[in-house]
């Protein structure tokens, strides 16, 4: 919906060099929102004056200092399940209408420290599960943008904001990014702290990012990663050099394992044909690799974990107003209330088993190549589409990225998903940048 907008990396460089002001960038984003928001409806909370004031303060800082943060002056959209002290956080439910947090989420604090402009809060589905919010697909408003990070993906796709953050507990970053035709990255589980973010499942919840290029998402993810002792899955380590490594050329041309996964039969004929063509295009650099039988357990394990964890973490919503929850969410909570502890623990134990199986693949291949979704964004706004092609990778906690490299016959984007070894985020981003450049060069 915009004519080749600048990447975040290039905008940040221009702000840093004094060639453009943060206020100019912010006002351009607000102008684009004025043009497109009535159709796309990506924003839950937006205060234009507050956004401009942030940008003006950042411009004053840049004028007085030689060193600025890596996101200095860049507007960022924040999914409305991240606590923000300056803006409401309503979690996509009427039960939390008017909720005003007293502290920022860890990620929001990191964004501010890096110099970002918190442009506004983007729409989420109900409690970041399945019931859709108001957002529509920017490419065709009669189609879903996906979910649950629907507003974040759509806002970036519509050119309203260069970067956005979201979350994934099943397919909530990769799927909307694929449907909306942007780059979406779900890092390794635990790389980015979840403190101050609506909790669904400690085992599955992961912070993700959206942008217009691999470099964009590398810049954003690197800027918000960091140790947080309040998140039990955060680990003390050096900040990952995602942007630097993503921009390097691989020492050897990467090898791809084309993995259909146990849900291949749910893919549309068009999706299957497109991935067969992509595999042929890569030739000797791509082999079809079957997954062992234990991977058939993945979807059931994920279901067991998420329903039980929703029953635990959403108990207050169920008590406060079960009748105000969607039927789907209420049924998932009530299913989780009946889950036996032994079944939950067995499901969690499968994660280590499945990652051991993936290790055999990553001993030879740089990345797994697989669909991001069953097809292009479905028509209608009463569903966010199937997350089936994301479920396995979320369960395993592996990094995954979707690239907007293909298009369906309906003119809507069709995403290509790459999956890397757990903890090998930078290498995955480097491989993704190589593939995007390789495909783009072939299309010229």
Active site residue ranges: 79, 148, 172
Q: By the 8 A CB rule, do 233 and 225 touch?
A: no
Alpha carbon distance 73, 120 (integer Å)? 14
Strands (E) across 228-281 are located at: 256-258
Candidates 388, 397, 378, 391; CA nearest to 179 is 378
Q: By the 8 A CB rule, do 204 and 187 touch?
A: no
Per DSSP, the residues of 378-418 read PBSSS-----HHHHHHHHHT--EEEEEEEE-TTS-EEEEEE
Candidates 133, 366, 373, 176; CA nearest to 266 is 373
Residue 78, strand partner residues: 121, 165
Helix, strand, or coil here: 83? coil
Per DSSP, the residues of 194-226 read -TTB--S-TTT-EEEEEESSHHHHHHHHHHH--
- Quickly count: other Cβ atoms within 10 Å of residue 247's Cβ: 15
| Rounded (10°) CA dihedral 371, 376, 377, 378 | -110
**The two three-digit tokens of residue 419, written as one number:** 């999956």
Radius of gyration of the chain measured on its C-alpha atoms: 20
DSSP state of 119: E
Helix, strand, or coil here: 133? coil
Q: In Å, how far are 211, 215, 265, 389 from 403, measured between CA atoms?
A: 10, 12, 22, 14
State the number of CA atoms in the 13 A half-sphere of 334 facing the CB: 10
Helix, strand, or coil here: 121? strand
Q: By the 8 A CB rule, do 26 and 55 touch?
A: yes
**318 exposed, middle or buried (CB, 10 Å; 0-12, 13-18, 19+)?**
middle
């Amino acid at each position: 919906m915009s004519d080749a907008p600048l990447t975040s990396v290039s905008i940040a460089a221009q702000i840093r060099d004094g060639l453009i002001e943060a206020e100019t960038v912010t006002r351009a984003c607000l102008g684009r929102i004025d043009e497109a928001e009535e159709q796309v409806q990506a924003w839950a909370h937006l205060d234009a004056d507050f956004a401009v004031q942030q940008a003006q303060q950042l411009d004053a800082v840049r004028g007085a200092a030689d060193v600025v943060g890596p996101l200095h002056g860049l507007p960022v959209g924040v999914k409305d399940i991240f606590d923000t002290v300056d803006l409401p956080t309503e979690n996509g439910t009427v039960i939390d209408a008017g909720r005003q947090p007293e502290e920022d989420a860890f990620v929001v604090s990191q964004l501010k420290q890096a110099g970002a402009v918190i442009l506004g809060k983007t729409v989420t589905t109900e409690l970041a599960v399945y019931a859709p919010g108001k957002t529509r697909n920017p490419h065709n408003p009669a189609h879903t943008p996906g979910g649950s990070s629907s507003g974040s993906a759509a806002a970036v796709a519509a050119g309203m904001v260069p970067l956005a953050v979201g979350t994934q507990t099943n397919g909530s970053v990769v799927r909307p990014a694929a449907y909306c035709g942007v780059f979406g990255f779900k890092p390794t589980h635990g790389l980015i702290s979840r403190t101050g973010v609506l909790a669904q499942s400690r085992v599955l919840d992961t912070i993700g990012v959206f942008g217009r290029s691999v470099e964009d998402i590398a810049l954003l993810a690197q800027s918000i990663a960091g140790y947080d002792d309040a998140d039990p899955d955060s680990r003390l380590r050096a900040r990952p050099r995602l942007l630097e490594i993503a921009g390097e050329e691989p020492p050897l041309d990467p090898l791809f394992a084309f993995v259909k996964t146990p849900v291949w039969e749910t893919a549309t004929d068009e999706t299957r044909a497109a991935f067969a063509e992509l595999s042929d295009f890569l030739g000797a650099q791509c082999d079809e690799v079957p997954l062992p039988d234990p991977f058939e357990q993945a979807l059931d394990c994920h279901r067991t974990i998420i329903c039980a964890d929703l029953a635990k973490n959403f108990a207050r919503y169920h008590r406060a107003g079960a009748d105000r929850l969607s039927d789907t969410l209420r049924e998932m909570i009530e299913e989780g209330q009946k889950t036996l502890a032994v079944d939950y623990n067995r499901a969690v134990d499968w994660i280590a088993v499945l990652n051991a199986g993936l290790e055999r693949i990553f001993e030879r291949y740089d990345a797994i190549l697989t669909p991001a979704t069953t097809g292009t964004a479905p028509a209608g706004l009463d569903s966010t589409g199937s997350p089936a092609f994301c479920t396995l990778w979320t369960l395993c906690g592996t990094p995954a990225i979707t690239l907007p490299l293909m298009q369906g016959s309906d003119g809507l984007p069709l995403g290509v998903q790459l999956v890397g070894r757990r903890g090998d985020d930078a290498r995955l981003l480097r491989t993704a940048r190589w593939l995007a450049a390789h495909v783009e060069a072939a299309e010229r």
